Amino acid sequence: MSPFIKEGDRLLLAAFSSSQIKPGDIVAIKTGPGIVIHRLIRKYRRHGRLYFQEKGDGNLRGETIAPGDILGKAILIKRREKEKHLNRPLWQIFNRIMGTYGYLLSSLYQLYQKTKQNTGHPRMTPQDSQKSRWGRRRRDNNA
C-alpha cells in the first residue's frame, strides 16, 4: 500500500458489516501465509453472492475475495506522532477516488493483457529494436 501506508505505520482496525464496506476502504485480508493490507476497488454480486475486488496501491491488478476473507476495516493510520483518521470526510473522499482509480487501472491492465494475447504478436527481440517502424534496419550513423 506504499506510499499511502509505509513500513512502520500502525493501523487501527474496526469490525464491520458487509453493507458498511465500500470501494476505497482499506482493509486487512487474510491470505495463505498471513495478512495483507489492501484497498477495496469494487463491490459486486455474482450468482447472488457478494464479492469484493481488492488491490494494493502499488499493484497493477486486483484479486477477487469473499467477505469472509476481510478481517477488519482500517479507521486510523498512525505514523510517528501523526494520525490519519480515515472516517473523516476528506479521507473518505480521497479513498473513494483512489478506489475508483485502482479499479480503472486494474481494468485497463486486464484489457491490455487480453489484447496482447489475442494479437499473437511475439515479444520484441533485441534484433527487432534495430529496425525502424517499417521493418527496415536502421542506419548506423557511425558507419
User: Which contacts qualify for 94-98: CB closer than 8 Å, 24 or more apart?
Assistant: 95/24, 95/25, 95/26, 95/39, 96/22, 96/23, 96/24, 97/24, 98/4, 98/24, 98/39, 98/57
Q: What pLDDT does 3 receive? A: 79
- In the predicted model, what is the mean pLDDT of residues 22-49? 93
| Closest among 67, 61, 72 to 12, alpha carbons compared | 72
Q: Which three cell numbers stand for residue 132?
A: 525502424
- In the predicted model, what is the mean pLDDT of residues 26-38? 92
